[in-house]
């Protein structure tokens, strides 16, 4: 039997992924978002979005200080699967939490490509996030070649199955669908293609996690900009966005937040 689609409203999440960008001076952008948020109110949404910034780890603690008292959530961009130990250059989920994060991105395609991270590593990192009390934002998405070969839904299903911990709950797990070929390129899939992948993800989550799978947020990421955000964010089963380049400037990021239906 096909599981029912989502019926209860899901609070959207707009998360900015700064990647390897931002020196201390860039804290001014986070401060500008902080200052503008109260005036946004609920905007045009019944359920106003959660807003998150994922700065480089070097800025986490300073950004936590700069945004204290504001509803801005902070996320790390990666974590090691261990809590501590001899892993030069890595940071643990516990360290990210200690620095002020309430979430961590795991399995971003740039980590998968640049650092050879496999699904089982991504899953171990998501489990580490949960162990530390962080939300795991688990990224999945096909390459251009996989899309052209008609493998998108297979790839995404395989990544979801192998990257998500069995005990994942909706409160501490977010899925981000990010087609690799759409990241940083200005290209986006058609609305119908985004909707089809998100519907397939929802179906897989509901089949595996029952009610929690119906409530888990599914973000779209890949060249989300002020001028396409309203359209992308209003598609069925799109519960927010993971924004790269356009999150670096407060004005663009705020425009995307405002575009949340
Ligand atoms: P982009 O990046 O918005 O610059 O395409 C998105 C991401 O990689 O999370």
* Any atom of ligand 1 within 6 Å of the Cβ of 214: no
Q: 29, 94, 108, 127: which one is catalytic?
A: 108
Tell me how many degrees the CA angle 134-239-51 measures, rounded to the nearest 5: 55
The structural domains of the chain, ordered by start, are 13-21+49-258 (3.20.20.70)
- For ligand 1, atom 7, which residue shows the shortest CA distance? 244
Strand 103-106 vs strand 73-76: parallel, antiparallel, or unpaired?
parallel
Q: Is 108 a catalytic residue?
A: yes
Instruction: Report whether pLDDT(252) > 60.
Output: yes
Q: pLDDT tier at 1 (50, 70, 90 boundaries)? A: very low
**Per-residue model confidence as pLDDT tens digits over 80-98:** 999 999 999 999 999 999 9
Tell me the mean pLDDT in the region 132-148. 98
Instruction: Report whether pLDDT(57) > 60.
Output: yes
Q: Is 172 a catalytic residue?
A: no
* Any atom of ligand 1 within 6 Å of the Cβ of 223: yes
**Helix, strand, coil fractions of the chain, as percent rounded to 5:** 45, 15, 40
Query: What pLDDT is recorded for position 44?
Result: 58
Share the mean pLDDT of the chain.
95
pTM exceeds 0.85 for this model: yes
Instruction: Report whether pLDDT(46) > 80.
Output: no
- Whether the CB-CB separation of 135 and 173 falls below 8 Å is answered with yes
């Amino acid at each position: 039997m096909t599981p029912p689609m989502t019926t209860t409203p899901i609070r959207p999440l707009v998360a900015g992924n700064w990647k390897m960008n931002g020196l201390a001076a860039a804290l001014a952008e986070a401060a500008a978002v902080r200052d503008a948020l109260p005036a946004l109110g609920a905007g045009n949404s019944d359920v106003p979005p959660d807003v998150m910034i994922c700065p480089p780890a070097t800025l986490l603690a300073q950004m936590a200080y700069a945004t204290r008292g504001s509803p801005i959530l902070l996320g790390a961009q990666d974590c090691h699967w261990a809590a501590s130990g001899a892993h030069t250059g890595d940071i643990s989920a516990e360290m990210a939490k200690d620095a002020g994060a309430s979430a961590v991105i795991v399995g971003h395609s740039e980590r998968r490509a640049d650092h050879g991270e496999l699904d089982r590593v991504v899953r171990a990192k998501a489990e580490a996030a949960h162990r530390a009390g962080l939300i795991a934002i688990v990224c999945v998405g096909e390459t251009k070649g996989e899309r052209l070969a008609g493998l998108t839904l297979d790839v995404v299903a395989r990544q979801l199955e192998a990257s998500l911990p069995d005990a994942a709950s909706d409160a501490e797990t977010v899925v981000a669908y990010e087609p690799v070929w759409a990241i940083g390129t200005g290209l986006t899939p058609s609305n119908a293609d985004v909707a089809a992948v998100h519907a397939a993800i929802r179906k897989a989550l509901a089949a595996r996690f029952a009610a929690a799978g119906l409530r888990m947020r599914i973000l779209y990421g890949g060249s989300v900009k002020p001028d396409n955000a309203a359209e992308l964010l209003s598609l069925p089963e799109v519960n927010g966005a993971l924004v790269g380049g356009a999150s670096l400037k407060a004005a663009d990021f705020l425009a995307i937040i405002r575009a949340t239906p």
